[in-house]
Chain A
């Protein structure tokens, strides 16, 4: 058993729901106990969809367990077919139904429905949401596109020279972080390159669309967590190349354009010319100088984490001090990225471990998920959201892609916004006793005023206490005037200064930290 306060991912059947809900003309019959319909809320509330997810739950109860739950499943599947008339059906079990072993796949087959029925085996006690989505998409693609596969060994026919190259966009789902706008941005970008999008899937696709995936010249894998498995199968079966670069960030978008242009045989020069994104200039303008070396901690799914780290390091001039993911399936990629920034990757789905890491590293900015928002709030570190899981505010009404050139613009604003504005940061460093603008309140451009709410104050005090205890636990003690001097260092770098000074003192066997030690350490480590 694992003690869990938060979970970064839902169970795998929620991943399957994300595929079904993204698509049109498909229905998912889910063997699940009463209550599991809570998952509908994710789509109707968080993503604000205006339709019920195409999911029928058997919602069995305790009194049904003595009788024939298999019969309940068959009835539900039959009635769902009659009522919704889907073109294809997914059938599967949730965690509780997995325990009673009714075999939804076999039962649905016995119904002999006149449509393709794709059985899903999603081990709930082993795997999670993204894996469930990936597996569902893969099986759906195999089941629907498989019948159109050429004989093994057949060469891909040459593209008709009179036709623009076309690709599929693979990976966007329901409940995906900014999937809606990423698709729009990348579709536009590809169009400017002279490339058409044949099918976007699963988002907005029908089973008939899935059946013709093999017709495109190549595949663009937008979200490897969802689509890499399916894309691999398409490459093997239809000899369609698949892109490897995820176009999040300015540099990644350039690389993506070059990769796609190469695959499609088009000239990218016109698209790359000029100033396709504002990020480079904004980041080079002198206003951004104070961003240099800001210490940032990054956590989320593998794709967004790797992309954010590159942006932070190469495009904004931050210093990546920590990097991690909950996507175990992609741990290797994240480890490699972490190594290139000289840090060790944190691969975990334990929220408490992430919290501990953030507390230990004292970053000045956290880029993470909804959960890191809570961690950052507790530790009073600025934070921006870069990855699912996210809450309703991260399904915005406005156009907010993460991908492509406009995505880079959005990201610049998003990453910089929570940080203290440059002038305010300077003034705080100079004048410390201001009753209104002091360093224990939110930056004033965030408008939260000087008086934090009562309960926040309590959290803050206990956190500071904890930090004090943690540092006192070491062999070194702080002289009173050194402690005072430490408080003159702005809040967002104070933790780091404290730690550096203590390390400095420990390494030199000093029992007491004086004002001199503090400044010695400062001179030793630099900022």
Chain B
């Protein structure tokens, strides 16, 4: 827990030093990724192997949006599993059998590791192999870890997708070049991007994760992939190990980010400049028009990001460059320079970057900075509001369609809304 030696990014340069802190981290674990992943991959089921705490987290985090029969559950480890009275593997097999009997339509089952299962070293990958033999004809069984000790919030999706990559069919070396978009996107956003790539003549285009486990795209040496989310470091590495090559681009937030992101694909597929301009002009213009509604409200306002999802850096870039907000601090749980190279280049001068967290010290900095808007988790939001700081709760950014041209205005509105509300209320 080092004292804060605050470093500054001077020229939007990726070489800038970063404040690294260790201490209490006020973040979600990777299990929470299940909340959106189980909706995205509709024939998949997520079985957490963990404790009552894990089950409690899931129902608290999913809250009222839970429905009668969610496609996730927890196999709660009991005393007898720890005492060795019950063979944990046999128990797991029993629970999986019970589950698949109840939900026979499930085609893909993820055994999701948690802190307790990792600490007792329950080998879920071997369990998945074993169960795959048993259920070979109906259900494929994979595993990944969403534990708090290994993953922070959106990294749960990274771990999940990294487990899916080896399952993707092999594309031959002779196959024509294809594009793969990596990272969960809202269906509506996915459809918009698909149309844009079609108009550009870029393709064939696959999406990871797919909407159904039976639609996994192919991957091979002629696959080029665009990251749609910044938190997919392991997925990127495994895709590269299968021969696919990453296209370097900022993330598709706002008019500028979306254009640069599409441009990376267009350049790779040899789309000429005039066609690119023609295809993107309308969306770009619409995005700028939508953003103009929020210019006045957001320009010059300062913003402070607590670490949450790794979306912080791209969002800060968008808010500073397209809406003229001032950056007080950008906290991120992890900073992968390779993934964020294009983003770091675009960051404004003077932005304080921090990686990791010591929440009490960071709160001290936020209080001292008194930003106009603080982006933070729900554990901090109401307490900070009560101290007179306006907040934007961060999790919403993961659950809302925010990428692409058509969502640029919506994204700006998410940040403008709390300020608007604060200005409106007279109580």
Contact = CB atoms under 8 A, between A and B. Distances in A.
Interface of A: 1-7, 9-11, 13-14, 33-42, 44-46, 48-52, 56-62, 64-65, 75-76, 79, 83, 94-96, 99-100, 123-126, 128, 374-375, 377-378, 391-392, 459
Contacts of B49: 1
Interface in B52-76: 52-53, 55-57, 59-61, 63-64, 66-70, 73-76
Nearest to B120: A99
B95 A3 contact: yes
B382 A48 contact: yes
Interface size class of chain B, counting residues whose CB lies under 8 Å from the partner chain: 35 or more
Given A1-B77, A4-B75, A123-B79, A378 B24 contact: no
Contacts of B92: 1
A79 B22 CA distance: 13
Contacts of A128: 52
B158 to A, nearest CB: 15
B424 to A, nearest CB: 19
Given A4-B75, A36-B29, A44-B381, 12 more contacts: A3-B76, A6-B55, A7-B56, A41-B61, A41-B379, A42-B60, A44-B378, A52-B383, A60-B149, A94-B53, A126-B79, A374-B67
A35 B57 contact: yes
B149 A378 contact: no
B51 interface: yes
Contacts, number: 188
Most buried by A among B51, B53, B99, B378: B53
B149 A1 contact: no
A62 to B, nearest CB: 4
A125 B51 contact: yes
B78 interface: yes
Contacts of A42: 60
Contacts of A38: 28-29, 32, 57, 60-61, 379
A3 B98 contact: yes
Contact of B53 (A6, A34, A58, A95): A95
Given A1-B95, A60-B149, A374-B66, A49 B382 contact: yes
5 closest Cβ contacts across the A-B interface?
A35-B148, A35-B29, A40-B379, A50-B386, A96-B115
B243 interface: no
Contacts of B360: 79, 83
A10 B57 CA distance: 9
B131 to A, nearest CB: 14
B342 interface: no
B68 A1 contact: no
B322 interface: no
Given A1-B92, A61-B150, A391-B64, A33 B29 contact: yes
B68 A374 contact: yes
| Majority SS at the chain B contact face | helix
Interface string B344-388: 000000000000000010000000000000000111111101100
A118 B88 CA distance: 34
A147 B44 CA distance: 57
21 contacts: A1-B75, A1-B81, A2-B78, A7-B74, A10-B56, A35-B29, A35-B152, A37-B24, A40-B380, A41-B377, A44-B379, A49-B383, A50-B383, A59-B25, A59-B148, A65-B119, A75-B1, A79-B360, A124-B51, A374-B66, A391-B64
Contacts of A391: 63-64
B78 A125 contact: yes
A45 B73 CA distance: 23
A62 B25 CA distance: 14
Given A374-B66, A374-B68, A37 B77 contact: no
B31 interface: yes
A34 B25 contact: yes
Nearest to A126: B79
Nearest to A463: B68
Interface string B238-265: 0000000000000000000000000000
Nearest to B149: A62
A55 to B, nearest CB: 10
A326 to B, nearest CB: 12
B199 interface: no
Nearest to B150: A62
B147 interface: yes
A11 B379 contact: no
Given A1-B78, A50-B383, A33 B70 contact: no
A332 to B, nearest CB: 23
B51 A1 contact: no
A46 B378 CA distance: 10
B139 to A, nearest CB: 16
